[in-house]
Amino acid sequence: MPSNPGEVALEIDSPTESPRASSEFEEVSYPTWSQPRAEEELPLHYMGEDKARRRVKGAQAAPESTVMFDADSPTEYDQGDDGGKDVYAKLRQHQTPVSRMRRTSAPPTSVSEFIQQNLEHLPPAIYTLLSCWTRFHDIGKSPYVVWDEAHFGKFGSHYLKREFYFDVHPPLGKMLVGLAGLLSGYNGNYEFKSGEQYPDDVPFVAMRVMLATFGVAMVPLGWYTAVELGMSRRACHLVALMVLCDVAWLAISRFILLDSMLLFFTFLTVYCLTKFNNQQHEPFSFDWWTWLSFTGLSIGMVCSVKWIGLFVTALVGVYTIEDLWEKFGDLKMPVRTYIRHWVARAGCLIGLPIIVYLISFKLHFLILNHSGPGDAQMSSLFQAHLVGNDFSRSPLEAAYGSRVTLKNMGWGGGLLHSHVQTYPVGSSQQQVTCYHYKDENNDWVFLPRWEEPEYNPNGELQFVKHGDVLRLSHFSTGRNMHSHAIPAPVTKTAYEVSGYGNQTIGDSHDYWMVEVVDDIRRGHRNNFETIHTLTTRLRFKHWKLGCYLRAANAVLPQWGFKQIEVSCEKEDNPRDEHTYWNIESHINDRLPPAEITHIRSPFFRDFWHLNVAMMTSNNALIPDPDKEDILASKPFDWPWLHLGLRMCGWGDNQTKYYLLGTPVIWWSGTASLGISLVVFVVYLLRMQRKYVDFAPGEWDHFLYVGKIALFGWCFHYLPFLIMGRVTYVHHYLPALYFSVLMVAHLIDHFFLSARSLSERTKWAVFAFCVISIVGTFWWFRGVAFGIDGPINDHKGLGWRKSWNIYSL
């Protein structure tokens, strides 16, 4: 990025010789000890460019523009340290009304007056219209299921059919997809198979349009955020243009995906935060409360769409902590007021988001009241209440010979499972795992010990009781559940559990002692004898080793199909729910079905259970070293746009979409982040040498905008570096927003609001930026609008060799 040498060049030189007479940007004079005058305390934000960010000019500014080193007044050393003084009071003076007082002008009497009064909203309105065009233009061009529409469209359908499903993302976004489907008259009966053509009765265009509306709203949000950040008008234009013209944001908004919502709520959160920041001069006013609570609501929304939203929450969190730290130093503030500040933030920024998040789950459970593909993720009691579930018809009391499935009762627990595949480590015997889907391999049979008479299907019915020692035989493979003193594959401190032997071969390591913990319905175990399905909580203790059967969400590697490890825990921890099991489904022809209604499991239990399950599945999404995932990319690939992503098939007759950013925007964004650090260090060094580059308050404001952008970017980017899971280009899209803000901020600082530049230069710079942004966008528009025909006929798109935009 070009810079004006007069302003930023690192001129760390000794200023001791003599005060400079007339540097253009820096006027130095000896202290006059006069109090700052009122006109110097003018609000700095939201002023015309001619006033804002002006470097101090002329001698009037002397008291602020400060003092060079003065050897005769050694006491001044101490003034540098304002650790204990009322820093905040000074700060407050500079933080004067930013978004003006509430407008009190008279209501418009004529159309022209109305236009006059709202002229400032004209540019965003125009941008919104343009945004509508880009987002909606030819949105139905490809009548195929593009990319992840296969997932999210399907999840939307589940809401319409009201069948319970399971996914790693929180429900709000998918409920909105379902709502879009509902509004556009979709009946929910389509499978959304990847790459398939939409049948006539699926109103996919209407659904895409509704979801793209979130994408449309990103543009005005970008504009108003820039305004709230105190950028000059031209910088606001730049922000809005970049948001409008990035083809990655555009492409991702045009399909039935969650990303447009995620981006919208991320933008909204930043907007609310900046809006709130500008109310800080008037704490506890109506506007202040409004924007604080809007920030909280927005956080709740963004986290309910995807957990990525936690990153923007972190930004708000850090902003709040800094703010409270500032206020902590304000000795004039009464303690009560300070506590009120804390309470207000805790309520609005922690309480409200949690409520929003909970509500989204409550709605999720309310809507999905039919049995569906995600049942097995939830606790047995929850499943029993889904319409279409037949648990209540299985026999009530478990007996020898009963064929049962066993559900782990820990948070996120699954069904005890085994399959013919063996452990590649340890004993090499058959794997025993925990599985979250229903399948015949989940069935186990209670059988007596080897030395006891063999189970006789016609003999006397014998019920299983507390303290019984028995065998658990896997129904489909006939293996007995077995444990031995071999460390488990993941949890090395516990013993491995495997399937061993068959109907005739086995040893005493196959014996498990049934320990009843209690019964949800009948209370303590002394109150009853037999074991009931669903409600009785059991533990299985290995008879030989004394260890307890446990499944605690440790994910097995690929050889175990990413299922949950089952191990035998040596330490007896009677309160550990991961060692609790209950019988879920129960088949025994000799017993009558029990027609009972079960107690409902409480909402918070279901909520927490589902969240743990989501977390476990999310952790299982680690890249598979054996499988080549051509779509995945590494975080290092993103900032410089190393890779794009083919969103659909690449045949000559298909409409092709390529997820790729507008290079100018991505590259300048990344560069600006680096430059911002350099600029920050240079300014600090200059300050240490007592150069004054900023009028009072300007530095704070410069820093504030920079911090929002830089921290926002870091929070949205760096976590991916240490995250184990598989990552894709579109994970960078929220982070991109902050780099865009940084570009605008720096261009604004160095060019558009620079005092030393003429208006002509500013126009030139502005025009250059606009032309390069719009030009590149136009060049690459095809990747978002859809490319027809053989891709190799479209020349000039392969700006980097690593992009696989052309077929070989």
Partner 1 sequence: MERPTGSRRRRGYGGIDAPSNVSTSARSSDSEDLPTEHSQRAGATIIPPSPWNLHNYAIVTVMTIIAFGLRFYKLNHPDQVAFDEVHFGKFASYYITGEYYFDVHPPFAKLLLGLAGWFVGYDGSFEFETIGDSYTAAHVPYVGLRALPAFLGSLTVPLVYMIMLESGYPTLVAAFSTVLILLGELDNGHIGQTRLILLDAQLIFFVTLSLYTYVKFRKVRYLEFTPVWWGWLCATGVALACSLGCKMVGLFTFFTIGTAVLVDLWEVLDVRKEGHTMDYFYKHFIARTVGLIILPAIVYLSFFWVHFALLPKSGTGDAFMSPAFQETLRNNELLMNSQEIRYYDTITIKHKETKVFLHSHPEQYPLRYDDGRVSSQGQQVTGYNHDDVNNHWIVVPTKALPETGRGRIVRHEDIIQLTHVATDTKLLTHDVASPLMPTNTEFTTVSHDEARGERYNDTLFQVQIDDADPGQAWKSKSGHFKLIHMPTRVALWTHPKPLPEWAFKQQEINGNKKVHEKSNIWYVNEVVAVEGGGEDVRNRTGQVATKEPSKMNFFKKFAELQFLMLQHNAGLTAHHPYASSPLNWPFLLSGISFWTDNEKEEQVYLIGNIVGWWTCVMALSIYTGVIAADLLARRRGTYPIPYTVRNRLWNNAGFFFIAWAFHYFPFYLMNRQLFLHHYLPAHVASALAAGAVYDFIFSELNNFPISYPGPKTRARRPTRSDIFKVPAAITLTILTVLMFAMFLFIAPLTYGTPTLTGEAVNRRRLLSSWTLHFAAKKTTMD
Sequence-ordered alpha helix ranges (H) in 388-447: none
The DSSP secondary structure of 458-486, one letter per residue, reads: TS---B-BTT-EEEEEETTT-PEEEEEEE
CA atoms within 13 A on the CB side of 386: 28
Q: Which residues contact 61 (CB under 8 A, 6 or more apart)?
A: 27, 40, 695
Print the binding letters for residues 622-651 with partner 1: x by CB under 8 A, - otherwise: ----x-x-x---------------------
Q: Judge contact between 172 and 301, C-beta under 8 A.
A: yes
User: In Å, what is the CA distance from 650 to each residue of 655, 728, 789, 797, 804?
Assistant: 8, 19, 10, 15, 11
Taking the least distance from each CB to partner 1, the nearer of 680 and 728 is 680
Nearest approach, Cβ of 61 to partner 1 (angstroms)? 11
Nearest approach in angstroms of CB 323 to partner 1 is 9
Whether residue 208 contacts residue 135, with contact meaning beta carbons closer than 8 Å, is answered with no
For 58, half-sphere exposure in the C-beta direction (CA atoms, 13 angstrom radius) is 3
Q: Is residue 798 part of the contact set for partner 1 (CB under 8 A)?
A: no
CB of 289 to partner 1, least distance (A): 24
Indicate the length of the chain as a whole number: 808
Q: Is 652 in the site for partner 1 (CB under 8 A)?
A: no
685 binds partner 1 (CB under 8 A): yes
String of contacts with partner 1 for each residue 704-743, x by CB under 8 A: ---x---x----------x---------------------
Footprint of partner 1 on 424-483 (CB under 8 A): none
- Alpha-carbon distance 172 to 230, whole Å? 33
Told to check if 500 binds partner 1 by CB under 8 A, we report no
Report, in this order, helix, strand and coil percent for the chain, each rounded to 5: 45, 10, 45
DSSP class of 235: H
Nearer of residues 455 and 711 to partner 1, judged by Cβ: 711
Single out the segment in contact with partner 1 by CB under 8 A; choices: 108-116, 320-328, 516-524, 587-595.
320-328
Residues that contact partner 1, how many (by CB under 8 A): 63
Does residue 220 contact residue 124 with C-beta atoms inside 8 Å?
yes
Interacting span for partner 1 (CB under 8 A) from 7-15, 103-111, 225-233, 426-434 = 7-15
How far from the centroid of its chain's Cα atoms is residue 242's Cα? 23
**Which parts of 166-225 interact with partner 1 (CB under 8 A)?**
none
Instruction: Say whether residue 160 binds partner 1 (CB under 8 A).
Output: no
- What residue has token string 């606009």? 770
- Of 593 and 649, the one with the shorter C-beta distance to partner 1 is 649
Which one of 2, 21, 78, 504 is in contact with partner 1 (CB under 8 A)?
78
Interface region with partner 1, contact rule CB under 8 A, candidates 137-145, 321-329, 460-468, 655-663: 321-329
Angle between helices 733-747 and 698-722 (to 10 degrees): 150
By CB under 8 A, residue 18 contacts partner 1: no
- Angular region, 201: left φ>0, alpha ψ -120 to 50, beta rest: alpha
Q: Is 10 in the site for partner 1 (CB under 8 A)?
A: no
| DSSP-derived 3-state class of residue 7 | helix
Provide the minimum distance between the beta carbon of 12 and partner 1 in the complex, in angstroms, as a whole number. 6
Tokens 């030009």 correspond to what residue?
A: 775
Q: Which of 3, 25, 57, 90 binds partner 1 (CB under 8 A)?
A: 90
AA identity, residue 479: R
Q: How far is the CB of 527 from partner 1 (least distance, A)?
A: 26
The answer to whether 580 contacts partner 1 (rule: CB under 8 A) is no
Burial of residue 804 (number of CB atoms within 10 Å: 0-12, 13-18, 19+): middle
Q: How far is the CB of 706 from partner 1 (least distance, A)?
A: 11
If binding is defined by CB under 8 A, does position 105 make contact with partner 1? no
SS3 call for 691: coil
Member of 77, 336, 759, 795 binding partner 1 (CB under 8 A): 77
Q: Which residues bind partner 1 (CB under 8 A)?
A: 12-16, 31, 33, 35-36, 63-64, 66-69, 71, 74-87, 90, 318-319, 321-322, 325-326, 328-329, 331, 492, 544-546, 626, 628, 630, 683-685, 687-690, 692, 696, 699-700, 703, 707, 711, 722, 808
